[in-house]
Chains A and B, each alone.
Chain A
Amino acid sequence: MNKKRRMFVRMVLASLLRRRSRMIIALLAIVVGATILSGLGMIYYDVPRQMSAQFRSYGANIIFVPREGAEMSIEEINKGIGVFPSDKLEGYTPYRYENTKLNNLPVTLAGTEFSSVLRTSPYWHISGELPAGNGGCLVGKKLAEKFGLSAGDTISPLNSFEITDDIDISSIPESEIYEDPQTGEKFCDHSLDLKISGILETGGSEEDYIYVTLEDITDLMLNERGFDIVEVSVAASAKELKDYLDEINKNAVSLTAKPVKRVTASESTVLSKLESLVLIVTLVVLALTMICVATTMTAVITERRREIGLRKALGALDSSIVLEFLSEGLVLGAAGGIVGSILGYLFADIVSMNVFSSAITFRPLLLPVTIIASVIVTGLACLIPIRSAVDVDPALVLKGE
């Protein structure tokens, strides 16, 4: 670096460091702006992920149902599930529904996988616990109230059916088979003892069901058949979901994958509104920062009119004055941008922890973007006062007491 450049750096640094009290005010204005800009930027980019995670608590957003007249094959279900990237797949749960009787009243039994049910239905509230395995069940709250049931009780849902020639009765105990003396038709009352491990509360139709394992429902119904529905929870945008569904439906013959419109539609609506809101707030903050920095820089430069006049009297050209003052502004902008981008990350993290209860995803690209934005905004904000500084008449400002 030659002596002239060294002197230039020395003057700029001396102005920034030895006029700390003045510069701190300008720096603060830039830091506040950069902090909010970087913070809102992080939130803006993280909102879809955070909101998606939030929406997953409202349950599955995709269902697989059998095509008309077909049974969903396990192979196609697995293939369909394989379409979702593993980092986006929250979980999937199959269900088989059967009509049975309890105390001679009709009740619906749902066979499912308890190991995955809370991943697709995180809103389930269980008084007690999930069944540990076969022989246990969850009873919906409404049903429990209707039958006066509570956790720890044992129930015996009944599968009552007419025995036809196509039914294999070899595994049915003799005691469960009886014959209508008048018609000679044979019937079976097959039941299964199930211990209630918990009462299920959801506020929805689930409270009318009894949930058992898939093995138990097969035992009770004395047959195996395909699932009625598979609920899938995927953390993805509306567009990504559509792409996944298209891919699954293009190849599957036994099942149809559908979005749960209630969830996906409100998710994309809320997301787009939230993104717009954050974007508008970011732009407003950017404009306010620029005004704030411009005002501060105007004050800083105005109080240095005499110095500018002196520099001109010592032979400084207009271009030198612009370069010196703009450099000070740009160094301030860069310093404010660096500090602001770090504080912005902390700010976004605090907001995220308070609003979404999870940490913000650090986006390294936002750091240089914030610093560059801060430098550009400060540079632009400095231009107007510097323009007026160039017009300073040294003869006027250096004169007088």
Chain B
Amino acid sequence: MKLLELKNVTKRYGSLHALDSVSLSIDKGEWIAIMGPSGSGKSTMMNIISCMDKPTEGQVIFDGRDITKDSRKKLTEFHRDKIGLVFQQFHLINYLNAVENVMVAQYYHSMPDEKEALEALERVGLKDRARHLPSQLSGGEQQRVCIARALINSPELILADEPTGNLDEANENIVLDLFRQLHKEGTSLIVVTHDPEVGEVAQRIVRLEHGRIVSDKRNDSFSE
């Protein structure tokens, strides 16, 4: 069943085509890696999928609904209900502790619940670090808080932009294990990365170059 469909999506910045008539379809529960060199259009695609940007042309159909024409406010509401974001830079609020950072996502989504937020942190193995500020956490721990924040509202899709870009190998493995677990539970995942090792663990690999999809194939070595 289709979760997301990009139909001939083009994004132009002046004369520059960041995305050039891209079409892509993603099923519910699918784990996709979007790969490509710098300037290939990965971030632009991610911004459009996460509703933080609008295409110049084309349609984005999410869960059967064309969101291209939605107002900014509607897009914000739609995105907070459906999508969880994981960033390369973690982007935690530095004066809120780990559990409060998770609760911020609940606050904007529906109703903050500290118990649920603690459970989300427990799921990423950080319950005992719940009262620590980001500055007191390692990079890997911060990224796990970021993942707990992304999954707290049970989104249909988790969008991760270079989620292991700032992590060492041990922490990279922890994060990828978490993704495997989420995927097993039926969460759809789109991971933007230029790291082949991160791309290789996905179910499907889409390669972008110069704003166009140059390959889209299933990963034969994918294992749950």
Contact = CB atoms under 8 A, between A and B. Distances in A.
Contacts, number: 71
Interface stretch (A10-18, A114-122, A218-226): A10-18
Contact of A19 (B50, B73, B79, B95): B95
Nearest to B107: A7
B109 A315 contact: yes
B108 A311 contact: yes
Contacts of A18: 95-96, 133
Interface string B36-69: 0000000100010010110000000000000000
Contact of B73 (A15, A317, A393): A317
Contacts of B43: 399
B204 to A, nearest CB: 25
Given A7-B107, A14-B96, A395 B85 contact: no
Given A306-B91, A307-B93, A314-B108, A395 B80 contact: no
A310 interface: yes
B105 A314 contact: yes
Contacts of A399: 43
A79 B91 CA distance: 82
B85 A313 contact: yes
B52 A3 contact: no
B108 A315 contact: yes
B77 interface: yes
Given A10-B100, A18-B133, A3 B77 contact: no
Contacts of B93: 307, 310
Given A4-B107, A7-B107, A395-B52, A315 B79 contact: yes
A237 to B, nearest CB: 54
A123 B61 CA distance: 93
Interface in A355-401: 393-395, 398-399, 401
Interface in B75-128: 76-77, 79-81, 85, 87, 89, 91, 93-96, 100, 103-109, 111-113
B159 to A, nearest CB: 10
A314 B101 CA distance: 11
A307 B43 CA distance: 19
B108 to A, nearest CB: 4
Contact of A398 (B87, B95, B112): B87
B95 A8 contact: no
Nearest to B77: A315
Given A312-B76, A395-B52, A4 B104 contact: no
Interface string A287-318: 00000000000000000001100111111111
A317 B81 CA distance: 13
Interface in A156-182: none
Contacts of A314: 80, 85, 104-105, 108-109, 149
B80 to A, nearest CB: 2
A320 interface: yes
A14 B47 contact: no
A399 B149 CA distance: 18
B72 to A, nearest CB: 9
A306 B134 CA distance: 15
A395 B103 CA distance: 22
Given A18-B133, A312-B76, A399-B43, A4 B95 contact: no
B105 A14 contact: no
B100 A3 contact: no
Kindly name the residue among B87, B91, B103, B106 whose own CB sees the greatest number of chain A CB atoms within 10 A: B91
A317 B109 CA distance: 11
Contacts of B50: 313
A314 to B, nearest CB: 5
A14 B109 contact: no
A124 to B, nearest CB: 68
A3 B112 contact: yes
A1 to B, nearest CB: 12
A63 B137 CA distance: 83
Interface in A1-34: 2-4, 6-8, 10-11, 14-15, 18-19
A394 B111 contact: no
Contacts of A11: 96, 100, 104, 107
B80 A315 contact: yes
B53 to A, nearest CB: 5
Nearest to A315: B80
A394 B94 CA distance: 17
Contacts of A311: 104, 108
Nearest to A318: B73
Contacts of A19: 95
A14 B104 CA distance: 12
Q: Identify which of B43, B76, B111 gathers the most chain A CB atoms within 10 Å of its CB.
A: B76
A310 B91 contact: yes
B199 to A, nearest CB: 20
A7 B52 contact: no
A8 B112 CA distance: 10
Given A11-B100, A393-B52, 6 more contacts: A2-B111, A7-B107, A19-B95, A313-B50, A314-B105, A395-B52
9 contacts: A3-B113, A7-B103, A14-B95, A313-B85, A314-B85, A314-B104, A316-B76, A318-B73, A398-B87
Leading 9 A-B pairs by shortest Cβ distance: A315-B80, A18-B95, A315-B108, A7-B112, A395-B52, A395-B47, A310-B91, A7-B107, A316-B108
